[in-house]
Structure formats: structure tokens, C-alpha cells
């Protein structure tokens, strides 16, 4: 039968208690913030287009950042060296940006397009020689409904020319 030394038992108990507190505070803070954001979402979701799209993207980024921060607190509490973790996250972030450069390009172009209000849902547009109606606007792509009824998704970063005609009736 294995027995742990008293020092090791105290160490596990102390770290386990601190990790449990970090998790409890993190869960409570996340739920409180999620409720507040849900209340705000009901106001934003009433309007389609730019605000709702940017809001949904922001919520996803918030969730990811929140869980990374909670995970970092737990790692630091368990005694992992912070220098190598931060350096690894930096290298991982750089690799991600190189791998996701088109996604980042599309998202940034989409944010500018949405912010400037160039087109809205229901507008008749010609984009890259495709004439159609704007069906929906997402964070990375624009959905166009063609005259044949098919839906074409064009990443914002690939829009080289946009010609707007009028609002669809």
C-alpha cells in the first residue's frame, strides 16, 4: 500500500484547494458575464447585420480568452514555469496567424465592410461579376442569393469590386 508523505499531502491539498477556488470563481464569473451578455444580445439581435454579426464574433473571442486566462491561472498555481508557457503561446499564436492569414484577412475586410455599411441584407449587388441579392452577412463571408435560387458564399477578402444597385423590394 502506497502512502504519501505528509509534505506531499499538504502540497496536494493546498494546490487542490486553490485550483478549486480558481475554477469556482472562474465559473461564477463566466456565468455572471454570460447572463449580462445574453441580456445585451437580445437588444442587438433585434437588428440584423453589422451589430449582430460583430457581437457574435466578439462573444466567441471573449469565451476563448476567458478560458485561456482561467487555464493559465491553473497552470501557474500548479507550479508550471510561466516563461516557457508564455513563449510557447507566442510561437503558437504566430503559427496560427501564418496558417490563418486568409481567415484574418476575410474577417478584417468583413469588419470594415460591415462598419462602413457598404451593403445590407436585401440589397441588389454585383460582386466579382456575380449579380445577386445579399442573403446574409456573416463575420467572414457574404451570402448572395442568385437568380437561379442558389446561395453563393464569398469571403470578404476576395471581394475586389462591389457595385450596389438598390434595396430589394
Name beta bridge partners: 166. Answer: 124
pLDDT tens digits for range 100-153: 888 888 888 888 888 888 888 888 998 888 788 989 888 788 899 988 888 989
Q: What is the pLDDT of residue 1?
A: 47
Q: Let me know: does 132 contact 152? Beta carbons within 8 Å.
A: yes
Secondary structure of 64-115 in HEC code, one letter for each residue? HHHHHHHHHHHHHHCCCCHHHHHHHHHHHHHHHHHHCHHHHHHHHHHHHHHH
11 and 89 in a single domain? The answer is yes
Q: What is the pLDDT of residue 121?
A: 86
Domain with 144 in it = 119-167
Does residue 53 belong to any structural domain of this protein?
Answer: yes
Q: Let me know: does 143 contact 135? Beta carbons within 8 Å.
A: yes
pLDDT tens digits for range 39-94: 766 665 555 555 566 667 677 777 787 888 888 888 888 777 777 877 887 888 88
17 and 91 in a single domain? The answer is yes
123 and 95 in a single domain? The answer is no
127 and 69 in a single domain? The answer is no
For residue 6, give the C-alpha cell: 505528509
Residues 6+ apart with CB under 8 A from 103: 140
- Cell 491539498 locates to 13
25 and 84 in a single domain? The answer is yes
85 and 143 in a single domain? The answer is no
SS3 123: strand
pTM above the 0.75 mark? no
129 and 162 in a single domain? The answer is yes
Amino acid at each position: 500500500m502506497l502512502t504519501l508523505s505528509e509534505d506531499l499531502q499538504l502540497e496536494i491539498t493546498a494546490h487542490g484547494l486553490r485550483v478549486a477556488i480558481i475554477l469556482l470563481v472562474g465559473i461564477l464569473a463566466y456565468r455572471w458575464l454570460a447572463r449580462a451578455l445574453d441580456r445585451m444580445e437580445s437588444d442587438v439581435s433585434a437588428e440584423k447585420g453589422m451589430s449582430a454579426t460583430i457581437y457574435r464574433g466578439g462573444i466567441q473571442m471573449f469565451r476563448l480568452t476567458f478560458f485561456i486566462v482561467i487555464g493559465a491561472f491553473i497552470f501557474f498555481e500548479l507550479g508550471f514555469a510561466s516563461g516557457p508557457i508564455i513563449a510557447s503561446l507566442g510561437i503558437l499564436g504566430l503559427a496560427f496567424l501564418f496558417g490563418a492569414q486568409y481567415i484574418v484577412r476575410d474577417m478584417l475586410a468583413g469588419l470594415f465592410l460591415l462598419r462602413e455599411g457598404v451593403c445590407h441584407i436585401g440589397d441588389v449587388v454585383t460582386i466579382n461579376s456575380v449579380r445577386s441579392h445579399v442573403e446574409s452577412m456573416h463575420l467572414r463571408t457574404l451570402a448572395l442569393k442568385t437568380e437561379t435560387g442558389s446561395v453563393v458564399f464569398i469571403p470578404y477578402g476576395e471581394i475586389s469590386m462591389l457595385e450596389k444597385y438598390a434595396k430589394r423590394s
